[in-house]
Structure 1
Amino acid sequence: MPRLRWFLLLPVLLCALLAGCGSAPVVTAVAPVAQTASPQALAPGDVAVTGDVATPFTLTPAKLASYPQKTVPATFRSGTALEAHTFRGALLSDILPTSALAPAPGKNPFLSFAVLGRATDGYQALVAYGEFAPDFANTQVLVATVQDGKPLARPRLVVPGDGRGGRYVTDLVELTVVRVAP
Structure 2
Amino acid sequence: MRLVVVLAAMALLAVPSGRAGAQEAAPAVQAPGIQATDGRAIELAVPGGAPIRLTARDLARLPAIEQEVAFQTSQGLSRARYRGVLLWDVLEANHALATGGHHDELRQIFSVTGRDGYRIVFSVGEIAPDFGSRAMMIATAADGKPLAGLRLIVPGDRRGARSVRDVVKIEVR
TM range (shorter): 0.7 to 0.9
2:148 to 146, 149, 153: 153
State the structure with more CA Rg: 1
Alignment of 1:95-134 (within 5 A): 95-97=90-92, 100-101=95-96, 103=98, 106-134=101-129
CA contact (8 A) 2:28 2:43 kept: no
1:90 alignment partner in structure 2: 85
RMSD between aligned residues = 2.6
CA contact (8 A) 1:55 1:100 kept: no
Give the number of aligned pairs: 148
1:165 to 150, 155, 160: 160
Q: Distance in 2 between matches of 1:40 and 1:98?
A: 20
- In 2 relative to 1, CA 101–41 (structure 1 residues): closer, same or farther, beyond 3 Å? closer
Structure 1: which 4+ aligned runs deviate by more than 2 Å?
A: 26-30, 38-44, 51-56, 101-107
1:136 to 117, 131, 140: 131
Q: Which runs of 5+ in 1 are unaligned?
A: 1-23, 31-37
- In 2 relative to 1, CA 150–64 (structure 1 residues): closer, same or farther, beyond 3 Å? same
The TM-score normalised by the length of structure 2 is: 0.75
2:29 to 41, 65, 85: 41
The TM-score normalised by the length of structure 1 is: 0.72
Q: Distance in 2 between matches of 1:151 and 1:99?
A: 24
